[in-house]
Amino acid sequence: MDVMDSFQGMFDKGVAAVKGTVSGVAVEMLPFMQGFVRLCTDGWEQGWHERNGGNLTYRMTDEDVRSSQSFFYEQPSSWMPMGVQADNLRGAFFAVTGAGRFMRNVQLDVAHNVGIVEINGAGDAWRIVWGLRDGGLPTSEFPSHFMIHSVRMQATGGASRVLYHAHPENVIALTKVMPLSSREFTRALWKAMTECIIVFPKGVGVVEWMVPGGADIARATSELMKTYDACIWASHGLFASGPDFDMTFGLMHTIEKAAGIHVKALMLNGGSSDFPNTITDDGLRAIVQELNLPVNEAFLS
């Protein structure tokens, strides 16, 4: 064996070793799953996820699928019909939290609490290809997530990937006392804190109380989310969408913080929303003009 042959042999062994390490990387270590898990932990720490409350889904990129598919089950689950259908999600892959699984536990055992599901070619059924170990199923709100992904994908030219549902207490409390109107809620939140109109210039939608988990609430929410990137569910919680985990968590966080400020201001003001000081509509318009925001004009007076 000459020197070049032995060098080639060492090189091949090196390549094999590197490949070995790469294929030894688990789904849990991939960047998209680390972002997913971090959001679950952050939401738990905010107090938005009592027991199994809330859920998260992420529409994977082709690169995410490529990097994780060597870990997919040789035998995926059977196809499960969803009762809803979307053409633009045929063949998509989603990372999803599990039905009945706790956000608090996601960081401790990702493969038990989170899964990857594949959508069939007709765009109306899923099957589990990774995770949700020990008989898990995708979140009970998967029909809503699925429909909202479809409309947000359309509304954002494919940029929207993350959908996050949580039970933040100030948002829920306000739905007890305020008119269940997208305009009323949006105006109260915009005026609670200066950044709000910058973070959600289209406003937030409000869905009246409905039975969770089904196709009806999925349709009502997805209809509103053609316009809004977040939607309040009366006496239940909040849905937020975004292009990545930071933007989506940030939207949830901003809306709940503004709701908390509005609650405190109402209490300090004896329950009246006629505050001595607040941001005027002219003030809101000035921000819109200064930053050239795509504002929902119908919500300004």
- Residue 147 CB, shortest distance to Zn ion, in Å, is 15
Would you say 115 or 237 has its CB closer to Zn ion? Answer: 237
Q: Alpha helix (H) ranges present in 86-127?
A: 103-106, 110-113
- Residue 212 CB, shortest distance to ligand 2HA, in Å, is 4
Q: Could you tell me if 283 and 193 are in contact, meaning their C-beta atoms sit under 8 angstroms apart?
A: no
Would you say 212 or 243 has its CB closer to ligand 2HA? Answer: 212
Phi-psi region at 134: left, alpha or beta (left = phi > 0; alpha = psi -120 to 50):
left
Separation between Cα atoms, residue 221 and residue 224, nearest integer Å: 5
The residue from 33, 48, 55, 187 that contacts ligand 2HA (CB under 6 A) is 55
DSSP 138: B
154-183 footprint of ligand 2HA as x/- string (CB under 6 A)? -----------x------------------
**Distant-in-sequence, close-in-space partners of 97: CB < 8 Å, separation ≥ 6:** 40, 54, 55, 56, 57, 103, 106, 113, 114, 138, 139
Site for Zn ion in 230-249 (CB under 5 A): 237
52 binds, among Zn ion, ligand 2HA, none (CB under 5 to 8 A by kind): ligand 2HA
260 binds, among ligand 2HA, Zn ion, none (CB under 5 to 8 A by kind): none
Separation between Cα atoms, residue 74 and residue 41, nearest integer Å: 30
- Please report whether residue 98 would count as binding ligand 2HA according to CB under 6 A: no
- Please report whether residue 124 would count as binding ligand 2HA according to CB under 6 A: no
- Residue 179 CB, shortest distance to ligand 2HA, in Å, is 23
- Residue 50 CB, shortest distance to Zn ion, in Å, is 10
DSSP 241: E
Q: Which residue is nearest to Zn ion (CB)?
A: 237
With 0-12 / 13-18 / 19 or more C-beta atoms within 10 angstroms meaning exposed / middle / buried, residue 248 is buried
Find where tokens 């003001």 sit: 269
**Distant-in-sequence, close-in-space partners of 301: CB < 8 Å, separation ≥ 6:** 187, 281
The residue from 77, 85, 105, 140 that contacts ligand 2HA (CB under 6 A) is 140
250 binds, among Zn ion, ligand 2HA, none (CB under 5 to 8 A by kind): none
- Please report whether residue 256 would count as binding ligand 2HA according to CB under 6 A: no
CA contacts within 13 A on the Cβ side of 154: 16
- Please report whether residue 143 would count as binding ligand 2HA according to CB under 6 A: no
Strand partners, 128: 117
- Residue 139 CB, shortest distance to Zn ion, in Å, is 9
Would you say 98 or 260 has its CB closer to ligand 2HA? Answer: 98
Catalytic annotation, residues? 141
Binding residues vs ligand 2HA (CB under 6 A): 52-55, 139-141, 165, 212
Binding residues vs Zn ion (CB under 5 A): 237
